[in-house]
């Protein structure tokens, strides 16, 4: 069996993977696809890593490598046509958690088994800290400081600071990341409500939540919330979920944060809500078409909107669990056992 590693992992991780099954051929392709990925994902900065030696530069050399692959370990971005170029391919593992990363690829809906690192605890904390920082940023009126500094004039009355303790935050998507967000928000005294795809009757509430409802109850939760945090998976059902009806249900002065995918928010409706003065502030770590180009200038130019380049999951702390999950899955694959975190193409994650 030939395992091709495209993901930008360390030498230590590559050695750990190779040690799982010494009889498996591990082909080191880190950095080989960098230029190809820059071309096919122009909106995404190069995160493909590098190799000590210059990698093969031709498409033909990359194609020969993929043609021999039974299993591929990828990060993000991902080559768009792996399935077409790897006829022996049976399984792909993606180190990020988001299945929607693969929507543009020919893997989506194919017979190839694809797994992700969804739900790994050590990847959740960075998102949660980003969200809490975003809420504090808007609640304390910090954006006014940037304006004052640029204009060399203070406007103290513009800050109108809010205390987060006692306020309600609605977390759209009470999965792994949503639960980490809930715990931090609850720790500063916020009341936390949220939605998830299914809610089992009588099930215990996840830590930090005071209420969790099915997705169809979102409008009612938005109406009682001072802040809204989008953490759910991007699927057919969640495309434009935060649209005109959702904004209409929100309180005036709501804070909105999105660390999921841009397509979950209807940006035309978001711009309209900003024009109406419905929102106190917006923090977007994602936006529609982020892998193809820059944000909508109407959002980027709005002083109430902060946009970052998909960095909410970043950390200076090593996150071993995604690698451990892949190694556990590799052992299971070789033994013929079921894999963890297989994408359900119909469900969308």
pTM, entire model: 0.87
> Do 74 and 158 fall into the same domain?
no
pLDDT category at 253 given cuts 50, 70, 90 is very high
Give residue 45's pLDDT. Answer: 53
Whole-number pLDDT of residue 18: 93
Residue 302 lies in a domain: yes
Are residue 105 and residue 140 in the same domain, yes or no? no
Whether 258 and 148 map to the same domain: the answer is yes
* In a shared domain, residues 210 and 99: no
- 120 — pLDDT class (breaks 50, 70, 90): low
Q: What is the CATH number of the domain that holds 50?
A: 3.40.50.720
83 and 42 inside one domain: yes
Specify whether 175 is located in the same domain as 262. Answer: yes
Q: Is residue 291 part of a domain?
A: yes
Identify whether 219 is part of a domain.
Answer: yes
Q: What is the mean pLDDT of residues 250-270?
A: 98
Query: Residue 121 has what pLDDT?
Result: 53
The predicted model gives 115-120 an average pLDDT of 84
CB 146 within 8 A of CB 154: no
- Pair of tokens at residue 71: 């299993």
Residues 238 and 324 occupy one common structural domain? no
**Whole-angstrom Cα Rg for the chain:** 22
Q: What is the pLDDT of residue 202?
A: 80
- 341 within some domain: no
pLDDT tens digit sequence for 9-44 = 999 999 999 999 888 999 999 999 988 998 888 776
Q: What is the pLDDT of residues 160-175, one digit of tens each?
A: 999 999 999 999 999 9
Closest CA to 93 of 120, 75, 80, 77: 75
The structural domain count of the chain equals 2
DSSP for residue 141: T
In 10 A of CB 77, how many CB atoms?
A: 24
Checking if the pLDDT of 72 tops 80, the result is yes
Kindly state whether residues 131 and 105 are assigned to the same domain.
no
What is the full DSSP assignment across 220-283? HHHHT-SEEEE-SPP-TTTTT-BSHHHHHHSPTTEEEEE-S-GGGB-HHHHHHHHHTT-EEEEE
Task: Give a yes or no: residue 345 inside a domain.
Answer: no
Q: Does a structural domain hold residue 343?
A: no
Q: Which residue bears the tokens 């720790």?
A: 187
Q: Do 88 and 143 sit in the same domain of this protein?
A: no
Question: Range with the lowest mean pLDDT among 33-47, 78-92, 115-129?
Answer: 33-47
Q: Give the pLDDT score at 49.
A: 46
Q: Could you tell me if residue 227 is inside a domain?
A: yes
- On whether the CB atoms of residues 118 and 341 are closer than 8 A, the answer is yes
Residues 114 and 210 in one domain: no
Query: Residue 267 belongs to what domain range?
Result: 122-307
pLDDT tens, position by position, 266-321: 999 999 999 999 999 999 999 999 988 899 999 999 999 999 999 998 888 766 67
The mean pLDDT value of the chain amounts to: 92
Is residue 175 included in any domain, yes or no?
Answer: yes
The answer, yes or no, to whether residue 141 has pLDDT greater than 90, is yes
Do residues 143 and 170 share a domain? Answer: yes
pLDDT tens digits, 171-220: 999 999 999 999 999 999 999 999 998 898 888 999 999 999 999 999 99
Q: Does 229 have pLDDT greater than 80?
A: yes
Q: Write out the two tokens for 176.
A: 């792994």
Looking at the fold, whether 264 and 294 belong to one and the same domain comes out as yes
Residue 93, phi then psi, degrees to nearest 5: -115, 130
Give the pairing type, strands 211-214 and 227-230.
Answer: unpaired
């Amino acid at each position: 069996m030939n395992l091709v590693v495209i993901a930008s992992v360390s030498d230590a991780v590559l050695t750990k993977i190779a040690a799982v099954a010494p009889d498996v051929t591990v082909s080191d392709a880190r950095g080989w696809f960098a230029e190809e990925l820059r071309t096919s994902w122009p909106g995404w900065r190069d995160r493909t890593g590098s190799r000590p030696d210059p990698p093969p530069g031709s498409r033909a050399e990359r194609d020969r490598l993929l043609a021999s692959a039974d299993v591929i370990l990828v990060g993000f971005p991902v080559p768009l046509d792996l399935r077409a170029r790897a006829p022996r391919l049976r399984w792909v593992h993606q180190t990020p958690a988001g299945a929607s990363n693969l929507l543009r690829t020919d893997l989506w809906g194919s017979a190839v088994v694809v797994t992700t690192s969804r739900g790994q605890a050590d990847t959740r904390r960075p998102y949660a800290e980003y969200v809490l920082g975003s809420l504090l940023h808007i609640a304390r009126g910090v954006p006014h400081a940037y304006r004052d500094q640029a204009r060399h004039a203070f406007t103290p009355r513009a800050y109108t600071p809010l205390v987060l303790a006692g306020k309600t935050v609605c977390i759209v998507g009470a999965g792994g990341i949503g639960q980490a967000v809930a715990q931090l928000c609850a720790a500063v005294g916020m009341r936390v409500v949220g939605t998830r795809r299914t809610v089992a009757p009588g099930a215990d509430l996840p830590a930090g939540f005071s209420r969790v409802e099915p997705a169809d109850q979102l409008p009612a939760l938005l109406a009682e919330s001072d802040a809204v945090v989008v953490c759910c998976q991007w699927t057919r059902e969640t495309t434009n979920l935060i649209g005109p009806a959702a904004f209409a249900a929100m309180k005036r002065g709501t804070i909105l944060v999105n660390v999921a995918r841009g397509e979950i928010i209807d940006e035309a409706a978001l711009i309209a809500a900003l024009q109406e003065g419905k929102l106190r502030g917006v923090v977007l770590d994602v936006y529609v078409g982020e892998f193809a180009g820059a944000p909508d200038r109407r959002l980027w130019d709005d002083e109430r909107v902060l946009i970052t380049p998909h960095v909410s999951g970043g950390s200076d702390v090593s996150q071993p669990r995604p690698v451990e999950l892949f190694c556990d899955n590799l052992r299971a694959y070789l033994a013929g056992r079921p894999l963890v975190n297989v994408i359900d193409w119909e469900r969308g994650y």
